Amino acid sequence: MNFKKKQKIPAYNLQEILVVLVIIGILLLLALPNLMPLISKAKSTEAQLQLSHIYNSQTTYRYMYSKYSYDLREIDFESPKTVNENGRANYTYEIIEASNNGFKARATAITDFDGDGVFNVWEIDENGAPKEIVKD
């Protein structure tokens, strides 16, 4: 009978894998504080996009009725489900003032992105430029 010689396959042992995982964990802990402003900025993009949508809807509503609306439903804006409601949105939206000549809408963060106790707030008015009111 012919017996083939078993070849030895190089492999890593458990200790080597654990050392690599510990090194990766340490690198993540060092990098995370530097990445928090980028994470907050990326999440605030949601508020800017939704406020721009509210601006467009308010402008359309004003062309039709010669005034701005207090009600998000009247302008056909449906707020996305928040993370508290098993959705993906990080902001709640409201119209805080509306008249024949102007409006102001606000997006308020429902989560503290960087853990400092300050919640991000954005606003938009009839001029159409989102402004960060409270920086997180």
Long-range CB contact pairs, 46-49, < 8 A, 24+: 46/89, 46/90, 46/91, 47/90, 47/91, 47/107, 47/109, 47/120, 47/122, 47/130, 48/122, 48/130
Q: Is residue 7, in this structure, part of any structural domain at all? A: no
DSSP state, residue 80 = P
Q: Is residue 29, in this structure, part of any structural domain at all? A: yes
Cβ 51 vs Cβ 122: under 8 Å: yes
Q: Is residue 8, in this structure, part of any structural domain at all? A: no
Each of the 136 residues of the chain gets a pLDDT tens digit; together they read 566 666 777 888 999 999 999 999 999 888 877 777 777 788 889 999 999 999 999 999 999 999 999 999 999 999 999 999 999 999 999 999 999 999 999 999 998 887 788 899 999 999 999 999 998 7
Q: Is residue 2, in this structure, part of any structural domain at all? A: no
Q: Is residue 52, in this structure, part of any structural domain at all? A: yes
Q: Is residue 44, in this structure, part of any structural domain at all? A: yes
Tally the domains of the chain.
Answer: 1
Residue 42: strand, helix, or coil: helix
Q: Is residue 95, in this structure, part of any structural domain at all? A: yes
Domain that holds residue 25: 14-134
